Amino acid sequence: MAVCVYRTSRVVVQGITGKEGRYHALACRDYGTKVVAGVTPGKGGMDVEGIPVYNTMEEAVQNNHPNVSLIFVPPPFAADAILEAVGSGIKTIVCITEGIPVLDMVKVKRVIEKENVTLIGPNCPGIITPGATKIGIMPGHIFKRGSVGIISRSGTLLYETADQITKAGLGQSTCVGIGGDPIIGTDYIYWLERFEQDPETEAVMMVGEIGGNAEEKAAEYVKNHMKKPVFAFIAGRTAPPGRRMGHAGAIIMGKSGTAEYKYEVLRASGVHTIENPGYIGETIYKTLKEEYSL
């Protein structure tokens, strides 16, 4: 099984003729992902190494029947691109774009909630089911099919975590980067729920960071609904308050949102917290073996 994206997922890449869009569309295809179409307004009729390019999402959907969209459109036009994908009937959207204005995302969020669309990101590395499909910009070779599901707010930190888990002798069922912005399409809870139902996933790793209260809300969910073991690391323990640490979402305001507070809440909810990021893989491996005999 796995979660949300599968070998059968058919992907359309919006912004496929840009430098990044092109590179990653081809890298995804090389990984085994079915990249069936691309969209760039004004470039319809072209092809990117055999992938047909259309002017509109509507045409792409009519001709090649994609069911997932992967977006590389620049920030001023990205919100519109997401809404175009929604308008064409796509129900799973991965938006890589970093730097979308918050008030644009406020509007997008209203629409995707109403239309029941799963939006991954924005400002995220995408989603991968190792060995089956990669819809995003992550380096495929560090992932190995296995039993741990990963949910991460940060991109490179997702790679670091997956790499450690692979090196510890485990693997991943599905890994998703939910994005580092203040407003994102899906939160931890969305993915925790799906990982809990997924027969292939035996444990879940949450990679969080300072700012907001998404980890706190996730902790509450874990306490009430999760039977599978959940692990968590929170980045930014040493970050000074009031400063935005790269991600627009990673900023400490007041007491809540600090790493200490998040760890406290997570621990109290039965989450296995990992406070040293050098020991993520090792801790998961040992805990699963010793406490869960997995």
Partner 1 sequence: MKLHEYQAKEVLASYGVPVPEGRVTHFPYDAWMVSMELGLPVVLKAQVLTGGRGKAGGVKLAKTSDEARDIAQELFGKKLVTKQTGPQGVIVRKLLVEKAADIDRELYFSIVVDRTTSKPTVIASKRGGMSIEEVAEQYPEDIIKIPIDPAVGFLPYQIRRLKYDLELTAQEKEAAKIFSALYQAFSEKDCSLLELNPLVVLKSGHLLAVDAKMDIDENALYRRRDISRMRDLTESDPDELEARFSGLNFIKLPGNIGCMVNGAGLAMTTMDVIKLAGGEPANFLDVGGEATPETIAKGFEIITRDPKVKAIFINIFGGIVRCDKVANGIIQALKTVEVKIPVVIRLTGMNKEEGMEILKKAPMQFYIAEDLREAAKMVSDLSNNKNNETEKKPAEKAKAGKKEK
Residues that bind partner 1 (CB under 8 A): 20, 75-76, 99-107, 109-110, 125, 137-139, 141-142, 152-160, 163-164, 180, 182-183, 207, 209-210, 212-214, 217, 233, 235-243, 245-250, 254, 259, 275-279
Under 8 Å between Cβ of 204 and 146: no
Decide: residue 45, CB within 10 A, 0-12 exposed, 13-18 middle, 19+ buried.
exposed
Looking at 24, 225, 247, 272, which residue is catalytic?
247
Cβ contacts of 243 within 8 Å, gap of 6 or more: 251, 252
CB of 122 to partner 1, least distance (A): 10
CB of 101 to partner 1, least distance (A): 4
Phi, psi for 250 (deg, rounded to 5): -90, 80
Instruction: Record the tokens describing residue 138, joined without a space.
Output: 């992550």
C-beta closer to partner 1: residue 36 or 137: 137
C-beta closer to partner 1: residue 20 or 58: 20
Instruction: Record the tokens describing residue 238, joined without a space.
Output: 């040493």
CB of 63 to partner 1, least distance (A): 30
**Rounded Cα–Cα distance for residues 218 and 96 (Å):** 23
- Based on the residue annotation, tell me whether 247 is a catalytic residue of this protein: yes
CB of 247 to partner 1, least distance (A): 5
Cα separation values, 95 from 46, 119, 178, 256, Å:
23, 7, 10, 28
C-beta closer to partner 1: residue 104 or 198: 104
Active-site amino acid positions: 247
